[in-house]
């Protein structure tokens, strides 16, 4: 059955707010009348081999409801917001054509922003150009390339740290491919907000009324990750030999702190144990900071529908809000 007019809904919120559980509950209730397919909006879940630290949905959860945009990239390769918009837009159309409800679920706000507000028409990544820039960085260092960037794109250079290799590389790549500074692309959107497959009013946002509740959840989640051998997961990634801490995958919260802790252990005297206490503290602090940034962005989306995730019946409230939206004529 073709239902092209089905809405596209989204469940978002800060990390550890219960998005996955909420989405699965919504899917279970709707399954009797309307199949649901989940599109992940999470920049860590796209990477294969990064399961524990990203709190990736389990095999059982993914078997219960179809999930998309999970395990689609090797950690060596980046996945941009533009690629997400392309893939999510195509998936939304395909899911609707199957007569199912597309449900976006995640907390990568850059992806949501790109999908709702549109993206800049910047050139795609060019592996040859990137390799050339990386070779220059090995020879001269990223601060020197940052100085070069300041000459051709002072606006972008001013907001980047001299060691921000990922963003410096992208800015220089855009310049070499297009002959235009990266900052010039920020003045126009080629994918208009009016063409977006989702509206801000269709975002159901799980947000805590009590910040301490979320902080406790974050700490419990990080402790659970450590108990599930998260450190061994990062050790396996390091053992590949082709990954490094400047990659977008290894900059994900949790992975960056674990990589740094393993670096410190490697630099210490032989037999020095891993400082899991410091790792735990730094990991929890970084996750809290991420959650704060997520909430700040969500508050700018004034049309969103807020569900108090620390309320005792938050899941039931979320399900009811989704049902009411589907019953509406909008």
Rg for the chain, CA atoms, rounded: 21
Among the residue ranges 100-114, 146-160, 192-206, the one predicted with the least confidence is 192-206
Helix/strand/coil for 66: strand
> pLDDT of 15-41, one tens digit each?
999 999 999 999 999 998 899 999 999
What are the helix (H) ranges across the chain? 19-30, 59-64, 81-97, 109-117, 127-140, 142-152, 154-158, 165-178, 211-227, 230-239, 255-267, 276-300, 314-327
Residue 84: φ, ψ to 5°: -60, -45
- 114 vs 282, residue with greater confidence: 282
What number does CATH give the domain 213-290? Answer: 1.10.287.890
Provide the 3-class DSSP secondary structure of residue 326: helix
Q: Which of 122-126, 216-220, 251-255, 301-305 has the lowest mean pLDDT?
A: 122-126
Angstrom distance (rounded) from CA 273 to CA 264: 10
Of 246 and 55, the structure prediction assigns the larger pLDDT to 55
pLDDT tens across 213-247, in order? 999 999 999 999 999 999 999 999 999 999 999 89
Q: What torsion do the CA atoms of 117, 87, 71, 280 make, to the nearest 10 degrees? A: 0
Give the residues across from 39 on adjacent strands.
68, 104
**Where are the domains positioned within the chain?**
9-120+191-209+303-327, 127-187, 213-290
pLDDT of residue 189: 54
pLDDT band (50, 70, 90) for residue 4: very low
Backbone phi, psi, residue 102, to 5°: -75, 125
The separation between CA 318 and the C-alpha centre of its own chain, rounded to angstroms, equals 22
Q: In what order do the strands lie in the sheet with 9-12?
A: 66-68, 36-40, 101-105, 9-12, 203-207, 305-308
Is the fold of 9-120+191-209+303-327 the same as that of 213-290?
Answer: no
Query: Which CATH architecture describes the domain 127-187?
Result: Orthogonal Bundle (1.10)
Q: Give 157-208 pLDDT, tens digit per residue.
A: 999 999 999 999 999 999 888 888 888 876 555 544 446 788 888 999 999 9
3-state secondary structure 254-266: CHHHHHHHHHHHH
Tell me the C-alpha distance between 87 and 206, whole Å.
Answer: 25
Question: CA dist 140 to 148, 159, 318, Å?
Answer: 11, 21, 53
**300: which 2 tokens?**
């700018």
Placement of tokens 């990634």 in the chain: 237
Q: With contact defined as beta carbons under 8 Å apart, do 109 and 300 qualify? A: no
Domain spanning 9-120+191-209+303-327: which CATH class is it, in words?
alpha beta
Alpha-carbon gap, residue 103 to 67, rounded angstroms? 10
């Amino acid at each position: 059955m073709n239902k092209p007019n089905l809405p596209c809904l989204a469940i978002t919120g800060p990390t550890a707010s219960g998005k996955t559980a909420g989405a699965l509950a919504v899917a279970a209730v709707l399954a009797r009348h309307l199949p649901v397919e989940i599109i992940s909006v999470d920049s860590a879940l796209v990477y294969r081999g990064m399961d524990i630290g990203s709190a990736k949905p389990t095999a059982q959860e993914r078997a219960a409801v179809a999930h998309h945009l999970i395990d689609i990239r090797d950690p060596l390769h980046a996945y941009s917001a533009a690629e997400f918009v392309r893939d999510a837009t195509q998936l939304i159309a395909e899911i609707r054509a199957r007569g199912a409800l597309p449900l976006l679920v995640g907390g990568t706000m850059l992806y949501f922003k790109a999908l709702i507000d549109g993206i800049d028409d910047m050139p795609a990544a060019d592996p040859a150009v990137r390799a050339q820039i990386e070779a220059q960085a090995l020879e001269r260092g990223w601060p020197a390339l940052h100085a070069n960037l300041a000459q051709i794109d002072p606006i972008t250079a001013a907001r980047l740290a001299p060691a921000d290799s990922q963003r410096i590389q992208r800015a220089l790549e855009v310049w070499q491919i297009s002959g235009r500074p990266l900052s010039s692309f920020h003045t126009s959107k080629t994918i208009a907000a009016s063409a977006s497959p989702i509206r801000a009013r269709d975002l159901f946002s799980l947000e805590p009324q009590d910040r301490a509740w979320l902080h406790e959840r974050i700490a419990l989640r990080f402790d659970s990750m450590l108990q599930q051998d998260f450190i061994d997961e990062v050790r396996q990634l390091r053992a590949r030999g082709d990954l490094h801490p400047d990659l977008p995958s290894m900059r994900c919260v949790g992975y960056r702190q674990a990589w740094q802790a393993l670096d410190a252990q490697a630099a210490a005297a032989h037999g020095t144990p891993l400082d899991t206490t410091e790792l735990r503290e730094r990991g929890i602090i970084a996750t809290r900071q991420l959650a704060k940034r997520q909430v700040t962005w969500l508050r700018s989306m004034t049309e969103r529908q807020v569900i108090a995730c620390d309320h005792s019946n938050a899941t039931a409230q979320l399900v009811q809000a989704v049902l009411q939206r589907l019953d509406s004529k909008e």
